[in-house]
Every structure is written in structure tokens, then in C-alpha cells.
Amino acid sequence: MSEKLTIGKLASATGTKVETIRYYEQIGLLPAPARSAGNYRTYEGEHLRRLSFIRRARDLGFSIDQVRELMGLAGRREQSCMAVDVIAHRHRDAITRKIADLTALAGELDALIDSCSRNTVADCRIIEALGPTVDMPFTQSRAHGPN
């Protein structure tokens, strides 16, 4: 692709916000583009490919550091893909743990919802459960300011 892209066209082509593209440049994930005579950024096909890679990896939930590592590995085409597999497996394991945590949270919330008497807010078990779990004595008046 020899066509030069403005940042707006690159953003549109990849579904990425302009601010995000600038951020990726700032942190070194995306190389800084050449500048036009009018000092506008001019992107090329390699920018489009790299940004598409970054977007897909981020859509899959990889962290910025993981994306950086994956991009580094992608540049070593003759190397074993074992390092890539390790990153992907660790990420999948983290997702599995998050799903388990979210499932437990959903169960806890279901139990609170089921315990709701649906009377008044004063009798609401959900509000009660969200409140402090220990008594919090206030020995100083608000007029005296914070501790």
C-alpha cells in the first residue's frame, strides 16, 4: 500500500480513536509517522498493519505490555512460537480466573437480590449488605474537621 493516510483515515480504517493512535505513538507501540510539508502525520501501510495487530490484541484483552511483547515476537518470524504460546496461555488463564471471580460475584448478588423483601429502602437487604461491616464510631464532630 503506497497511499499515505492521515490520522483520521487511519483511525477510521482501524476503528481506533485519534487520541489512542497518538497514545500508541507516545508509548512506542506505533512508530512515529513521517510528517507532510504542512506538518501533518502521514501514515503508511505498515502503520495500518501494526495498528490492526494492536487493535486485535487489545480486543482480545491483552495488556499493553503483552501487546508490546507479542509485536516483538512477531518480528522474529523464524523463532519458535513457544514464547507466544506462553503469553497466550497466561492470558487465557487470567481470563478464566476473572470469569470465576465474576461468576462468584454474580452468585453473591443473586443471593442479595433473592433476600430482598421489596418493601422500603429502610428494610432493603441489598443496601444493608453494601453498608459498613463494622461499627464506625464518630467521636469528633464535623465542625472540628477531619482527623
Q: pLDDT digits over 13-53, tens only?
A: 999 999 999 999 999 999 999 998 898 999 999 999 999 99
Region 67-95: mean pLDDT is 94
Statement: residue 134 has pLDDT above 90 = no
The pLDDT score that the predictor gives to residue 46 is 95
Give pTM, 2 decimals: 0.74
Helical (H) or strand (E) element with 51: helix 45-59
CA distance 88 to 74: 13
Q: With bands split at pLDDT 50, 70 and 90, how would you rate the model's confidence at 1?
A: very low
pLDDT per position as a tens digit, 98-111: 999 999 999 999 99
In tens, the pLDDT along 49-65 reads: 999 999 999 999 999 99
Decide: 33 and 41 in contact? Cβ < 8 Å.
Answer: yes
